[in-house]
A and B are shown apart, each in its own frame.
Chain A
Amino acid sequence: MTRDLSKRLAYAMDLGEATPDQRAQVVDAAQLVTAFEELPDLVQAMVLRWEQGPTPA
């Protein structure tokens, strides 16, 4: 993981109000990658959704 990816994911999780399970999924997936595109498709889609729109609880 790089500084920029770490910041991006942290911001997206906060903005999207990720659940604990979603957070765990993102944190685990991010450990061994250096770019957003290397994340699993499911995680990428989740992060993009958080970044794009509101997520009512």
Chain B
Amino acid sequence: MSRSTSKSGNVRAGSFCTLGDSGQTQAGTPMRCTETGDGKRARWRKAAGAVSASRVRKREPRTPRQRAADKLRQSEINYLRNAAGLPYTGALPRNKSQRAKLEAAGFIDPDGNITDHGRDALRRRDALDDKSDPTVSTGQPESFRFSGMDRAAEVAKEWAARDIDYEGRRRAKQKTPYDQELAEIAKRQGFDHRPQIGTREEVDKAVAAGWTEVWRGVQDSEHKTAADINGDMRDGHFQPGRGMYGNGVYTSTRRITAETYRGRDPYGSHPKQGYAPGCDFTEEDLEGVASPDSLLRIAIDPAARIVDYNDLVAEQKDWLRQNNDLVTDGVERNGAGVALGDPGRFAAARGYDAVRVVNRADGSFYPGWKESDDLDGLVPWFDQADQYVVLNRTIMMIQRVEDPP
């Protein structure tokens, strides 16, 4: 790439030039430079003693839109445009409505500068591209969390305006094994991006570094095998499921709970290794056959924004009360009220990455369950394991399929 100049040093009309390290474009990007015609640029150049167009341009004020665009590659701009629902053009939008969409998505601020949220999105995209080979260790565990933001009011406004076919929705719910509405909110937040996939050693390292180790068990369904379901969790469409404490992806800090959910229950009341306070069942206490790749070992990013279930329910009630005009049509709940009535959807709309459910029934057996009339929560010396309802897939590092747990 070369810069052509006339004998007088002026940049020739129609020639291509490369702007250097001024931060105005990526090095090597061709940019058409034209003469201003009024000699102003030439005077500046002369005054500065400069010969390069980049030094001349340094003297010219840049608009916020230009400054933001200067720092981004075309592909990056397209990525953000796509995430905000705009068509690809490779340029930051000029018109107000399109800029408003990028602002609403949190990618640029009112001055047109890229926000931390926007950088987060790009960093994550680049990281995932670089990490295409999961066997390549990245050293210390690193957060690739895609941060969300409070979009509850935005979601409510949109859903309130929808003409909802309740019977149609009910039929759709019966057909789909996942919560489509939560998936839609997750997509809007960027929570549907892929998780990290780690080797056993990488997940070990992450857990040792303070990430939370959780387990998830699934069974074959009518539509998919367990391996397909877990394959999609690693690298397919994000399809959060349903659950007692709000919809989302259910995981437990206790491996036996996950074993239960993949169809393996303890056949005795007490662990073979002996019953002691807090002593749990092990692999040798379980009966039942599990499908291949039906158990996931997951590490949850300590940077994740997690809310406790009890706090979430209180927050949800307050929010729905304060925004009564958004979630009702005066008397009855509208579509927004229905959608945000689920704690999982509400939490995702508020930008939480996961819900932590502490000491509540999780549907699995604990040592002593046969002797106890109330097997959950009341078994002596054994509290219910914490459950994490994951809403943001990017907070997870999932152990790769080649290293079964």
Contacts and interface: CB of A to CB of B under 8 A. Distances in A.
B167 A30 contact: no
Given A5-B363, A54-B166, A56-B166, A14 B179 contact: yes
B376 A31 contact: yes
B337 interface: yes
B223 interface: no
Interface string B349-382: 0000000000011111000000000111110000
Interface of A: 1-7, 9-11, 13-15, 17-20, 23-24, 26-27, 30-32, 34, 54-57
B375 A14 contact: no
A20 B320 contact: yes
B149 to A, nearest CB: 23
Contacts of A55: 166
Consensus secondary structure, chain A interface: helix
A14 B244 contact: no
Given A15-B170, A17-B341, A19-B341, A32 B378 contact: yes
Contacts of A26: 244
A20 B360 contact: no
Given A31-B360, A34-B375, 8 more contacts: A1-B361, A3-B364, A7-B363, A13-B342, A14-B179, A31-B376, A54-B170, A56-B166
Given A10-B244, A31-B361, A55-B166, A20 B317 contact: yes
Contacts of A13: 242, 244, 342
Nearest to A32: B374
Counting chain B residues whose Cβ lies within 8 A of the other chain, the interface size class is 35 or more
A6 B244 contact: yes
A57 B163 CA distance: 12
Interface string B236-248: 0000001111010
Interface in B286-318: 313, 316-317
A32 B244 contact: no
Interface stretch (B22-30, B129-137, B202-210, B327-335): B327-335
A6 B362 CA distance: 8
B79 interface: no
Interface of B: 164, 166-167, 170, 173-174, 179, 242-245, 247, 260-261, 313, 316-317, 320, 332-335, 337-338, 341-343, 360-364, 374-378
B376 A18 contact: no
Contacts of A7: 363
A20 B338 contact: no
A9 to B, nearest CB: 6
Nearest to B261: A3
A31 B377 contact: yes
A2 B342 CA distance: 21
Nearest to B337: A57
B332 A57 contact: yes
Nearest to A3: B363
Contacts of A5: 363
A8 to B, nearest CB: 10
Contacts of B316: 20
Contacts of B174: 15
A18 B173 contact: no
B361 A20 contact: no
A32 B375 CA distance: 7
B363 A1 contact: yes
